Structure 1
Amino acid sequence: MSFFLGLQIRQDSKGILVHQGKYVDDILAKFKLQDAKPANTPIAERPAMTEDLEGEAVDATLYRSMIGSLMYLTANRPDIMFAVCQCARYQAAPKLSHLNAVQRIFRYLKGRPRLGLLYRKEYPFDLCAFSDSNFGGTGRDMKSTSAGCQFLGDRLISWQCKKQQTVSLLTAEVEYVAASAYCSQVIWIQH
């Protein structure tokens, strides 16, 4: 098997590489960004994304189509997960600043179209997990965003990015909420 549901799979003696290079090329062409200048990161650190109530409105159908294409791509691109989730929050009323952020993700993909996941044959299967959160989030709701990933040895097997359900008053509280969510994920994987 070398191609399945948009995933390109290359197997050799070292392991299995899964990427979506052809899909990246296709969506860059679909949104006419194949000649865009590559970006080094999928999202700018500053300024943080907000609702941008004063910004110029853009075509919501186009914006949603771009987000949908990127969501499918997160199946094997955890490097864009946070950025895509941030942009997906503004699908109801996207502004020019949100469209620029989405286009930056596409420009990042332009520079790294065949980046994917490598599953090596020769490593142990120790289960390891990591989580992190931002305190206070962005926008009016002040809900933090948690992200986490789980590894079997050096193989990334699961990743997620989610806005927390509650508003936390302390940084430690945000980290505990995230850690408890990912501990339950690890326990589920162990069983």
Structure 2
Amino acid sequence: MSSMGELNFFLGLQVKQVKNGFFISQSKYVKSILERLKLADYTIARTPIQVNHQLSPDKNGQDTDKHQYRAKIGSLMYLTASRTDIMFAICLCARFQAAPKTSHLQAVKRIFRYLKGAPKRGLWNPKNEKFNLKTHLLAKQEANMCVHITSEAEYIAASSCCAQVTWIQNQMLDYGVTFMATPIHIDNKSAISITNNLVQHSKTKHIDIRYHFIRDQAEKKRIILTKVHTNEQYADLFTKAFVEARFKYLVEYIGMINFE
């Protein structure tokens, strides 16, 4: 291996290092795709998706070029490495790649209009701050585009989240960092009760045994399920559309800023 100096660019990610932290962005890539798509005349959008978007298969809608649609989705997917603020909007639009309609294309164009207004936004990682591991969990079931939240879905999602937390804990041991009692913030009280109740009963016996892994981890104090208010459920950023004020708050909370 050879030393090439300070890291500035890696696999399309721009890295800006300063005394109090480092900033990761893809502003050059954003600029290039906006120029390629000739979106200079488009108005700026303050959020990547409308609150009442009502996106659906739209079988009666007008067809649009599926190859161009998929190309746009692909270019946006690459941005999610640093632009978690557009994750929900992109994943929602990606569902309709098989038969995209004009309504879907308009939703994709709105994402680009949002990027036009915030091309330099990226992830800020401060130095000299206490390094903690915590998670926010939100599970949803969808049927006919209507969302139904159940305790079982939350419990199963919490178990999957616990598995990821355990993996991270084991990986960090290689760096001499020990994480115990990692909080998993969840807004469903019933899921917490199921986790902390080690006795199998009729309401949970139908759940696959592999999901009960979380009970063992909770008993060992490797994770702690914590009830949070819906307003403090920051995982909402990846599952819902918001008005500008709430969206801006969530984006700033996860460490996304504009860095000049």
TM class, shorter-chain normalised? 0.7 to 0.9
Q: Residues of 1 paired with 2:80 and 2:152: CA distance?
A: 28
Q: How does 1:76-115 map to 2 (within 5 A)?
A: 76-115=82-121
DSSP 3-state at the match of 2:53:
coil
Q: Per-residue displacement from partner, 1:79-117 (whole Å, max 9, x unpaired)?
A: 111111111111111000110111111111111111111
Identity value in percent: 50
CA contact (8 A) 1:19 1:115 kept: yes
Q: Which of the residues 56, 66, 70 maps onto 1:60? A: 66
- Give the direction of change, closer, same or farther, for the CA distance of 1:34–1:3 in structure 2 (3 Å limit): farther
Where does residue 34 of structure 2 map in the other structure?
28
**Number of equivalenced pairs:** 164
Where does residue 171 of structure 1 map in the other structure?
150
Structure 1 length as normaliser, TM-score? 0.79
Q: Residues of 2 paired with 1:122 and 1:17: CA distance?
A: 15
Q: Residues of 2 paired with 1:48 and 1:84: CA distance?
A: 15
CA contact (8 A) 1:25 1:34 kept: no
Where does residue 47 of structure 1 map in the other structure?
53
Q: How does 1:108-147 map to 2 (within 5 A)?
A: 108-136=114-142, 139=145
Question: Higher mean Cα deviation, 25-34 or 88-97?
Answer: 25-34
Q: Residues of 2 paired with 1:125 and 1:175: CA distance?
A: 27
CA contact (8 A) 1:135 1:174 kept: yes
1:180: how far off? 2.2
Q: Residues of 2 paired with 1:171 and 1:133: CA distance?
A: 8
1:138: how far off? 5.1
Q: Residues of 2 paired with 1:2 and 1:186: CA distance?
A: 30
| 4+ runs deviating over 4 angstroms | none
Q: Which has the higher strand share?
A: 1
Q: Which has the higher helix share?
A: 2
Q: Residues of 1 paired with 2:119 and 2:151: CA distance?
A: 37
